[in-house]
Structure 1
Amino acid sequence: MKQKIFTFLLIAVAGLTACRKDGVDPTIKEFDEQQIQSYLSSNSLTGFSRDTTGGDTTGMYYKIINPGTGPALEWSDRVSLVFTVKSYDGKYTSADTITNHFDDYLGHLQQDGLPKGLQTAIHNVLKYKGASMRLQIPSRLAYGKSGYGSGSVTNVNSRIAGNQCLDYYVHVIADQPAYDDLVIRNYLTANSLSGYTKTASGLYYKVIVPGTGVVGSINDLSVVTTTYTGAILNGTSFDEASKTTAYEFTPATSDGLAGLVSGVSEGLKGYAAAGTSISLIMPSALGYGTSPPSSSGIPTHAPLRFEFQITTVTQLE
């Protein structure tokens, strides 16, 4: 028994020694560099450059996909981002650019929970609005030895383990209305949706069932009874409370039409009446923009889709 234990210890020591250089543990910089090189090689990723800003100190590798234009970004500039991220161990992947939105000053990015390396690379390497890149962030500029998130490190997509390098894609939006419109058009194509009309404001609407009432009769003083749903464009619903149970929008309360997001107000007032079934897809500026309700799960700058089936329309006397 003693011989077996001694043999096991020898094997364990030999394994640890193999990870060292000349019997010395690698520094975190050396460890990160080894991990990045191995990741690039094993995933056949080419065309990456090493970030040498400030004397080759970051250890990040990047590949510019679109260069962008305009003045160079400053820390005080407000930026709108979409991104994807994957940890090197494959246990954390967040690839939905519908939900992965960020809007704040560039200098606040890290305090908002995104990695220091991403903030630094946008400022030093990506530089311009309209630009996009793929970025390899060493663990020391990601979330370090503590990692990020909640739950066990063995959980998938709930926690980034400690000492994990990160593979990011990031796009800095230059023109939010144009980007939102592209997202909506891609959504329509991907879901084989047709028959929508685009208004001057950027709202897309489709009358599925024409109403029996007079189009244009709905206004801020109307009492509207309707069933409806609301969702972001990945299909996640944020409002299904009135999917089957009729809801009444009443001007005398905060739930009147005047209190709705502008895309819904425009769609119902301009193209619906009693009996109408209508679908509305709107850019973020006609939805909640940069200030979605905190408990809704709606990301900042999220295009939205609403479906309304209007039962009755009456006017306050």
Structure 2
Amino acid sequence: MKPALALLACALLLGGCGAGDVGAGSDAADGRMPVTAAFYPLAFLSERVGGDLVEVSTLTKPGTEPHDLELTPKAVAGLSQARAVVLLAGFQPAVDEAVASQAGEAAVDVTDAAELTPGPGGTTDPHFWLDPTRMAAVATSLGEAFAERDPDDAAAYRANAAALVTDLTALDEEYRTGLASCESTELVTGHAAFGYLAQRYGLGQEGIAGISPDAEPDAATLRELTEHVREAGVTTVYAETLVPPALAETIARETGAKVAVLDPLEGITDASAGADYLEVMRANLRTLREGQSCS
């Protein structure tokens, strides 16, 4: 479909489209497969695995907290025109509902490949992408999903996925080496997003908030965390992007710890410490090495 006709179709069907909506809503004139990703890590995977063969749009816009995503009717309607809708079921209820009603066989749920496990309080921890090894498993799975939806280019999708796995394996090795010898192995983070990372690299995690950053602690929990920081000799409390740092700053002030910023990589903005997933993960590693006093 020519761009002018695509815009007209959007106007008639959806009440108008933004610049990013045309590719997600129709097969472009250049033949790229339209892919919609629920939030940033899935968009990064989709872009790397799809390469030049796909046009990716993201439901969760930069700077938006993905846990709390609400979708417009226009965004929901647009899902019916994507050939692949990549999501993590259970993480964003609004996305789950929209995909169930609109996406049909286009839905690509990465939950099984991510091998999610319970986090604090028994709630399933969705933050698989902070573990490069889990991220690599999802990349491979996504390559197969794209190959199934576009068989003519199956070899390219699988090759792109393999190249990304190579990059993620190198990132994993950097983390293993960089965090192998640290004076402190206890992480105190803005919310309990870093459990998979901590488990992978021999660290412990205590989240100020729960799995969702909205799950703020009560006064008793804050006192317990403050005591934990003192007893464990924690010298750095980690705030994070997209969430106000007030609670982290309070604990740091009470204990004499400093505050540093770890990015849970739920979105990329101009304030992020890198332009993509790999760059921000390496920035996080540098922050952790300093904050945990790693040699």
TM range (shorter): under 0.3
More strand as a share of residues:
1
TM-score, length of structure 1 as denominator length = 0.25
The structure with more radius of gyration: 1
